[in-house]
A and B are shown apart, each in its own frame.
Chain A
Amino acid sequence: MAKTLFQKVWEAHTVRQLPNGQTQLFIGTHLIHEVTSPQAFGMLRDLGLKVKYPQRTFATVDHIVPTNELKEPYSDPIAQEMIEALRKNTKDFGIRFFDTNTGTQGIVHMVGPEQGITQPGTTIACGDSHTATHGAFGAIAFGIGTTQVRDVLATQTLALSPLKVRRIEVNGQLAPGVYAKDVILHIIRVLGVNGGIGYAYEYAGSTFDNFSLEERMTVCNMSIEGGARCGYVNPDQKTFDYIKGKPYAPKAADWDAAVARWKSFASDPGCAYDDVVKFDAAAIRPTVTWGITPGQAVFIDEKMPALETLNAADRATAEDAYKHMKLSPDTAIKGTKVDVCFLGSCTNGRISDLREAAKYLKGRKVSPTVKAIVVPGSQLTAIQAVHEGLDKVFTEAGFEWRGAGCSMCLAMNPDKLVGDQLCASSSNRNFKGRQGSQTGRTVLMSPIMVIAAAITGQVADAREVFKV
């Protein structure tokens, strides 16, 4: 019988059926960070349990690390306490920790792929909702709560119910100035922020075939923003090429067998899906959010929706959003003044994002009214960017070049909006207060659109600014 990748991975990792009808699912790869793991280790100790497969858990520190302060102790004592707790926990339980002094630390969803830990046909769990990022490699990867982190540590399994699979097909060529970020913002806008509840999203079609792994990661990353706990792209030659030679990739003698196995996990032709949705890539334009959910988005050359065009439930959320964002219905968002520009995050903090941004920024200047920061998602990304001279392009233009971490995506470190500042952000969430100020405002967009905003000091159409 023809099967989806989701079904094949699920079956290969099924341990048994639990008394309540759920599946005890084996989690092949467990990723942890400092925010959602300390309580789990605490529970483990309280119950007198050990980590069952310490070699299958990998740790890094990302949320709380300051990006402009390299020396410890950090000025935030709680941040210091959290990083030290992770050091102790990983040491006590024999877990590999990609610490800040290793040159390999970074956002957990960047470290996995960079190390070759993220592989096709595997199950990956992490106490972080953006774990779906790893689905770009054909893994079934999803976010879990802290009690579930305990479950994985203690048993290497989770109690779960299978998901339905929705195939999201995007075909054709994206127009110049349109990127993977626009594709996923558009998908969420159309399918809704809760459209994916109960589903895994399988992203497919010629647009995805042509995407690099980094572009695929940008899309899979935001699956949860559409309500889908996981999203994936079937593995192909690009996937294998990306993994090859990475530290945790299968070595010479095992490589061919691994590739053959990985290929076998791809969805079979003719397999049945619970739902199929199709998009035309050519119809997607640069997309920005105007509200307080990632689904409240418009093409940059569209007006924001008039309230009377929305149904009753959406209208209530929209009214709240307009009030918070200090924007007016039925007007253009283009031209809105921007105070801060943030380039980074597990959505768009990879080397290809920095290269594309630098390409358009080179020789230009950040508007004097804008504070602009660029935060590479990982130390390896930062090292590569410096090697290519990208840091100079950013700093010469007026960006602050920072150390690796989550930074202003969720402002758990000192990088925060102040008051009602409006931030043009390459991150994934525009929730109220997300960027560290309860009245702060976030407009999500692609990296090139962040650069256009930084230069012009307003929400701008990068296609016009850069004449692409």
Chain B
Amino acid sequence: MSLAKVTQVKGLALAVPGDDIDTDRIIPARFLRCVTFDDLGQHAFRDERTGPDGKESNHPMNSPQAARIAAAKKGVMVVGFNFGCGSSREHAPQSIWRFGFTALVGGSFAEIFFGNSTTLGVPCVTLSKDDLAECDAFVRAHPDVEVTVDVEKLVVTAGAKSWKASIAASARDGLINGKWDPIADLLDGAAAVDRTAGSLAYVAGK
């Protein structure tokens, strides 16, 4: 299986503020009533974007900037800390990705969300608290400036600004080498898997 090498993601950026944004807020549970991920993009942050009265809120995902990113099918979402906490639903990163975002920059990411995103080839890089605040402010002030998330060099740049970024070494390795979906490597280990299975009494039926 040949996958694209995700060394650098460049696109317009959108700040979606707040800490502890959980996956129920990213994709409400009623949209999990489906057997494919295909239609999830349009529902990303649905209940944040639409009020109980059916009217559109002033959530950033309703902004013209978000529409430009959706049209371009590439873009960077700038988020806060502990983004994607809660449920393991892959529907959350799927909805963000299918909306059009191809990288996330934040303070920290919940583990399962991070893993699910990486497996889609969507890097989630972190900045220090101060740098994140500066990046967030810059993005809001300069909506027309493209942001580059350099996964290889571990830096986020926008115009003349640049910030040092971090990502788990294994995720970086997988992304830049086009091996962010681990299935090929896992299948390669089949013989070793059988040996491990045989060594475990509860699996081998002993």
A295-349 residues at the B interface, CB under 8 angstroms? 313, 316-317, 320
Name B55-104 residues within 8 Å CB distance of A.
81-82, 85-91, 93
Q: Of A317, A320, A431, which one neighbours B86 at CB under 8 angstroms?
A: A431
A120-153 contact mask (Cβ, 8 Å, vs B): 1 or 0: 0110000111010000000000011111101100
A158-B173 Cα distance, complex, nearest whole Å? 17
For A216, what are the chain B residues with a Cβ–Cβ distance below 8 Å?
none
Nearest Cβ in chain A — how far from B107, in angstroms?
9
CB atoms of A258 and B197 under 8 A apart: no
A78 to B32, CA, bound (A): 10
Choose one: B47, B90, B190, B197; the contact of A145 (CB below 8 Å). Answer: B90
* Interface: B169 (CB within 8 A): yes
Residue of B nearest to A429 (CB): B86
Select which of A24, A194, A258 is within 8 A of B110 by beta carbon: A194
Among B24, B89, B111, B200, point to the contact of A13 (Cβ < 8 A): B200
What is the CA–CA distance of A193 and B23 in the complex, to the nearest angstrom? 14
Instruction: Chain A residues near B81: list those with CB within 8 A.
Output: 194, 313
Give 8 closest A-B pairs by Cβ, nearest first. Answer: A145-B116, A143-B88, A145-B90, A159-B182, A194-B82, A38-B35, A20-B173, A438-B47
User: B interface vs A, CB < 8 Å?
Assistant: 1, 18-20, 22, 24-25, 28-30, 32-37, 47, 52, 81-82, 85-91, 93, 108, 110-112, 115-116, 119-120, 168-170, 173-174, 177, 179, 181-183, 185-187, 189-190, 192-193, 195-197, 199-203, 206
Besides the contacts A18-B186, A437-B52, what 13 more A-B pairs have beta carbons closer than 8 Å?
Answer: A13-B196, A20-B170, A20-B173, A39-B37, A47-B183, A63-B29, A81-B35, A145-B116, A148-B116, A148-B119, A151-B182, A227-B111, A258-B202
Interface residue ranges, A against B (CB under 8 Å): 12-16, 18-22, 24, 26, 28-29, 35-36, 38-39, 42, 47, 49, 52-53, 56, 63-64, 76, 78-79, 81-82, 85, 119, 121-122, 127-129, 131, 143-148, 150-151, 154-159, 161, 193-194, 197-198, 224-225, 227, 229, 250, 254, 257-258, 261, 293, 313, 316-317, 320, 410-412, 419, 429, 431-434, 436-439
